Chain A
Amino acid sequence: AQTVTQSQPEMSVQEAETVTLSCTYDTSENNYYLFWYKQPPSRQMILVIRQEAYKQQNATENRFSVNFQKAAKSFSLKISDSQLGDTAMYFCAFMKRGGTSYGKLTFGQGTILTVHP
């Protein structure tokens, strides 16, 4: 079974600054995906960024980038130039690739990020 751990229950950052959210995971699988999802207050959860485990290059999406350390089973999210709209709960998630893991994401407990003006 897979586990995902987010050790920072809450974080805060000033607008325009950079913040890094941490995530570690445990799995015996070699082929998998990792994700960061964002859940704004009272709004639906959306995908921020996705990393395929077999790719060494870290994924980036505009102001969002990850630091994927496969051997260390670490997957952090860096948000640059933080904006007020980034205020949300952020979830790190794992999905086994292939097989019968249809639709099944394993989520961490989440990190509440607050961006202050």
Chain B
Amino acid sequence: KAGVTQTPRYLIKTRGQQVTLSCSPISGHRSVSWYQQTPGQGLQFLFEYFSETQRNKGNFPGRFSGRQFSNSRSEMNVSTLELGDSALYLCASSLSRVNTGELFFGEGSRLTVL
């Protein structure tokens, strides 16, 4: 069974641009979560989707948004990029509808903002 796939793996943008990251969960997993990982702030929760509905959201500005499609694939978008948005963005999927904490992570999309 294929794991969680994130694209692109690496990308470079400039301040003010916007970016879209994609995540394909493990087949059969309907919950997708997104995390931002930086050396300074560590791992921080962005949001979680289940069956195309955002069920939970972290403490990030409105420039960070996401969505989930009917096939459970998810995208996250960051608009008006800032230097501080440089990070590894991790997507994780989960089989269960309820909280179990057993998340399966992708390898991440590394975003560099210049």
Interface residues of A (CB under 8 A from B): 33, 35, 42-47, 50, 91, 93, 95-110
Majority secondary structure of chain B interface residues (helix, strand, loop or mixed): strand
B binding-site residues for A, Cβ under 8 Å? 3-4, 31-33, 35, 42-43, 45, 47-48, 50, 55-56, 58, 90, 92, 94, 98-108
Whether A103 contacts B100 by the Cβ 8 Å rule is: no
Interface contact A45-B45, CB-CB below 8 Å: no
A108 cross-chain contacts in B, Cβ below 8 A: 42
| CB < 8 Å neighbour of A103 from B3, B48, B106, B108 | B48
> Which of A95, A100, A106 makes the CB contact (< 8 A) with B55?
A100
Which of A97, A103, A107 has the most chain B CB atoms closer than 10 A to its own CB?
A103
Asked if residues A103 and B43 are in contact (CB atoms below 8 Å), the reply is no
A98 to B99, CA, bound (A): 6
